[in-house]
Structure 1
């Protein structure tokens, strides 16, 4: 399934939610134009939606999550977005889906994060995000995840970054106590990354153990610079801080030896 097809499913899904219950079937018949596969996918999303009144229903979880839950995200495997050919889905979160991909131009592996339309549909918000993202791309520091590019392909916005072998600090903490020397080493490297970002006028906004990657060679990488701002603007002003943090959930793949997209 191509990004354009996923976008069409999402558009019809949201439009169907605005219909009166008795009108949904008639609306789907017209919107899907006889495409039974398309209609089944939209109907599956409608059937899986949570009870009305839940903020998560139409925002943080969003239609992208439901597509994943219905097993449709894996259908992107083999597709090419921009100049990245997707080979494997490696995770999902509130800020998008993560894939292992190959840059067919540069001939290298990359982590590809596809951003949900609910975060990119507002032109002004997207412009602000792209401005900050370009600053992140310009960062050159051994402890900051290298972002190759911020791109768009048929209205699908993506972030391509280096692949990292290792585990998150959260995963490492779950395995047991960390020696003081290792704690100090990790703290120094994280502080160095944050200091470099601050000098460039970039604030992370969501530094936590899940955004800190530990490589087998001892290097520490801080992930997701700039991404949190996009989700931060999605949260209603009255939303408690703890709930707003749900909107900056990052890609997480369980287990050690994890490959982590930025």
Structure 2
């Protein structure tokens, strides 16, 4: 007997809370000959929203994904759903932006090269030349786009050109130390992840480790969040902390925080690209 090839899909659903949602989705998948391998869900009673992520498998067939999408349309319309359906393992096209600190960039490059992240890093943009050698060693295009107060509009216009040229799905600010304009932030809502080197909402803005030192903190951390038009106020995706004490200088705190920054950012990128993150107002739901 000839072996039947299996294919897996990831489906995400968010919609107003109400009865019958899980029944409708699971029933549809049963009719399509799909088996639910994993299902995670969350109902937010305060917001009246429902979130669900499913990993489903079944026999392969020509044009399977498009056919399932078309068939699910009426179900989605009945519950006013926002939804996605795509083959498992689909890689997101990612553009990374960085300034002079390269630890988060290096970590993402390494994890991508080792297959730990479901991403295809299509380009790196920086306002400095410091990391060109590293990035080009990975055979990834590197673009130096200087930014000053006078050239910022032109620099952001160049960034938008690159996003279009490379068909970018996600922008990652890996210690990119320039504030995006309100207009650009709005255009990239839900598609841009930033790493901030503090445990937000504490110590926003510049030099958070120095602020932490002045307050004598006993932990320092890092926060990966979506970018919006409010500085360091975007919905939080992932956070990491490390213990410190009174003997740590500002330089020691910076050094201690580097691993937290790398881990928080890589987790956020991974969960976003695995379709585990849902925007829920000014916060996120992460189904993992």
Q: TM-score, normalised by structure 1?
A: 0.28
- Per residue, is there more helix in 1 or in 2? 1
State TM-score, norm by structure 2.
Answer: 0.26
- Bigger relative contact order (CA 8 A; separation at least 6): 1
> Which structure features the higher share of strand residues?
2
Bigger radius of gyration among the two: 2
